[in-house]
Structure 1
Amino acid sequence: MARRPKQELTHLDAAGRPAMVDVSAKAVTARQATAACRVRFPAAVAQQLRASGLRSAKGGIVDTAIVAGTLAVKRTHELIPFCHPLPIDGCRFGIDWESDNALGIECTVNTTHRTGVEMEALIGATVAALTVYDMCKALSHAIVIGPARLLGKRGGKRDFGAG
């Protein structure tokens, strides 16, 4: 059985202090990542939202979540300390019912750069989910967000999943 090389945290310097990764020697390549987050509603709330076409007193829930998620993608480097500011070439959301009571949110982000967009995709999906919560919390505080997870990424050293 082949032994895997020891993995180390990349955001620590030789002294164990926090440090941003230097990506200057990496090749500029096309990169993409897709992340997902789920929003689960109590049955009565889900039924009410389905009947309303996912509209609340605050407006269109899905449209607002897409706008908020897109803004968050573009500001990820301001939220996560060691993320590099990246030019975002594309950002797409898919939001639909996964089950009777759960709304699924997927965020796919593209860039051409020296580092990937996994954090941008995760931030986008999660902020979109938080926005859904914000727009629906008047109906119930029993709404559950999560899990948020990376579905896949392409580009860079290694590909993962279906990104």
Structure 2
Amino acid sequence: MSEDQLTHFNDQDRAKMVDVTEKNTTFRQATATGKITMHPETLARIHAGQIKKGDVLAVAQVAGIMAAKKTSDLIPMCHLIPLTGVDIHFSDNDQDTITADVTVKTKNVTGVEMEALIGCQTALLTIYDMCKAMDRGMVLNDCHLVEKMGGKSGHFIYDAQ
């Protein structure tokens, strides 16, 4: 099968979950990143702990981890993967944008790119949810895979060019 051939279709051109039965268990890791842009006052209130719903980044951290663990419940063709680690780091530009970086690890037969992406998006959506009462114009953007290691397809590093 060529590398660019789609694998999620059976011989009747209907959706299927890819059979990974014969693949070797190896270490796999993926990192995704994404941003949420908001009014400067919203970020200042997050920094000051003045959001009525609580500690925004602590809740977003837990939500992102929980979501990564539930990826196969959300994306129909994703395999249920036991994760060995999920780590989320937040940074901001001290003006109007928070960046979430999510790294997911496993020892399995298939990769964890989707888990990293779902974790990232959910962390950002949780920030939106917790701050929407004061800022409904927040924008989630630039969510993408940064790096993937392990598996047959090898090492991938995002190139923004």
CA distance in 2, matches of 1:67, 1:49: 16
Structure 1: which 4+ aligned runs deviate by more than 6 Å?
A: none
3-state DSSP class of the match of 1:59? Answer: coil
Measure how far apart 1:43 and its partner are. Answer: 2.8
Tell me which residue corresponds to 2:85: 90
After superposition, give the CA deviation of every residue in 1:53-79 in whole Å (9 maximum; x if it has no partner).
Answer: 4x5111101100010011101110000
3-state DSSP class of the match of 2:10? Answer: coil
After superposition, give the CA deviation of every residue in 1:63-105 in whole Å (9 maximum; x if it has no partner).
Answer: 0001001110111000000111111100000011045211000
Aligned pairs, number: 156
Tell me which residue corresponds to 1:161: 157
Trace 1:21-32 onto structure 2 (pairs within 5 A): 21-32=18-29
Aligned partner of 1:114 among 109, 117, 133: 109
Is the 2:117–2:143 Cα contact (8 Å) retained in structure 1? yes
Aligned partner of 2:7 among 4, 7, 10: 10
The one-letter amino acid of 2:128's match is Y
3-state DSSP class of the match of 1:153? Answer: strand
CA distance in 2, matches of 1:43, 1:56: 14
3-state DSSP class of the match of 1:121? Answer: helix
CA distance in 2, matches of 1:98, 1:7: 38
TM-score, scaled relative to structure 2:
0.91
3-state DSSP class of the match of 1:62? Answer: helix
Tell me which residue corresponds to 1:133: 128
Measure how far apart 1:42 and its partner are. Answer: 1.9
Measure how far apart 1:19 and its partner are. Answer: 0.5
Q: Give unmatched runs, 5+ long, in structure 1.
A: none
Measure how far apart 1:141 and its partner are. Answer: 0.6
Aligned partner of 2:31 among 15, 31, 34: 34
3-state DSSP class of the match of 2:80? Answer: coil
Measure how far apart 1:9 and its partner are. Answer: 1.6
Q: Give unmatched runs, 5+ long, in structure 2.
A: none
**Most deviating of 123-132 and 35-44:** 35-44
3-state DSSP class of the match of 2:144? Answer: strand
Measure how far apart 1:114 and its partner are. Answer: 0.2
| Alignment root-mean-square deviation, CA | 1.5
TM-score, scaled relative to structure 1:
0.90
